[in-house]
Amino acid sequence: MRCRYNMFNPQFPAVLGFTYAGTFTDVGPDVSYVAPGDRVAVARWGGTARETRYAAFQKYPLALERNVLKLDAGTSFEDGSGVIANLVAVVSALTIHMGLEKPSMADQQAIGGLAVRFASDAEYEVVTTSSPANEDLVRRRNPASIINHRQAQDVVIRSIREQGPFHAILEATGTERGTEIMGKLLEQTGGGGVFFSTSPSRNDSELPANVTKRCWSGYSEDRVSDNARSELRSWFLREYLLHGLQTGAVFPNPASKIEGGLSGVQAGLDLLNDGKVSGVRLVVYPQE
């Protein structure tokens, strides 16, 4: 295994894979929410992230009941596994860390997809960036404005600044370019500020002194693994996400299959590491 960043500090030998979907073949004696034959998506939250028996890239992983999302017959395994972890990270980052309101299930007919739609459903005006190739997909998530991030850096920064001021900023790529843009944007506002990001990058130490970057640092875990937030975990998995997938309002990026089953995992990791994946999710079918 070759890693771009050692974010998760894996212990070797390691079995990778954080989210997966499939059909239960058996359940333990104290399990009541699911039964053999149920279609589910699973995320490795809590202590399961450190135990290989719960990892996705094997033919028969284990799952904890509290980390399970039931899927109806109309929801594909690809969609279920594609949103369960990323969306909970978005919900946690925006509500717990950034202080935004969550949308009301009673007031919203459509449940949003990922960060842009989640925030717009909560009645925020959302400014986001996209490449021209992915703009149609991003527009489906109802932003107020989309800025082409393929433009020159100074044009991107000026375009974002003209849309401000902002209640909160989430830099979702975790890249060096994204970090640099946010640093210059906030530095140019005069007072500096804070932005949130999905991961550290190599140039974090080069940020201006008056700019603070707050990284991923377990956004998912804060929402679903803290016992004090058990009601929020239940709301997310059994109401918000379940309803969103059933109605089609929550949707992931399109799936791209990695051929070769488990033997193709390294090829998929290499594509990610080389920056060759954009606008799609890589999916492995372990049973092949």
Average pLDDT over residues 77-99: 81
Confidence class of residue 62 from pLDDT cuts 50, 70 and 90? very high
Say whether pLDDT at 249 is over 90.
no
Tell me what pLDDT residue 213 has: 92
| φ and ψ of 104, to 5 deg | -85, 130
Average pLDDT over residues 35-39: 96
Q: What gap in Å lies between CA 215 and CA 93, rounded to an integer?
A: 10
Average pLDDT over residues 86-103: 74
Domains in the chain, CATH or no CATH each: 19-252 (3.90.180.10)
Q: What gap in Å lies between CA 60 and CA 127, rounded to an integer?
A: 42
Average pLDDT over residues 47-56: 86
Residue with more model confidence, 244 or 267: 267
Tell me what pLDDT residue 90 has: 75
Residue with tokens 């989309």: 146
Tell me what pLDDT residue 259 has: 93
Q: Give SS3 for 203.
A: coil
Of 58-62, 126-130, 144-148, 222-226, least confident by mean pLDDT is 222-226
DSSP 254: P
Tell me what pLDDT residue 170 has: 87
Tell me what pLDDT residue 180 has: 95
Task: Print burial letters for 270-288: b (CB count within 10 Å at least 16), e (below 16).
Answer: eeeeeeeeeeebbbbebee
Tell me what pLDDT residue 183 has: 94
DSSP 278: -
CA atoms within 13 A on the CB side of 209: 0
| Total-model pTM | 0.69
233: closest CA among 245, 248, 223, 221? 223
Q: What's the order of all strands across the beta sheet hosting 19-23?
A: 19-23, 39-43, 68-70
Give the amino acid at 264. G
Confidence class of residue 212 from pLDDT cuts 50, 70 and 90? very high
Would you state the structure tokens that stand for residue 257, as one six-digit string?
A: 């299959």
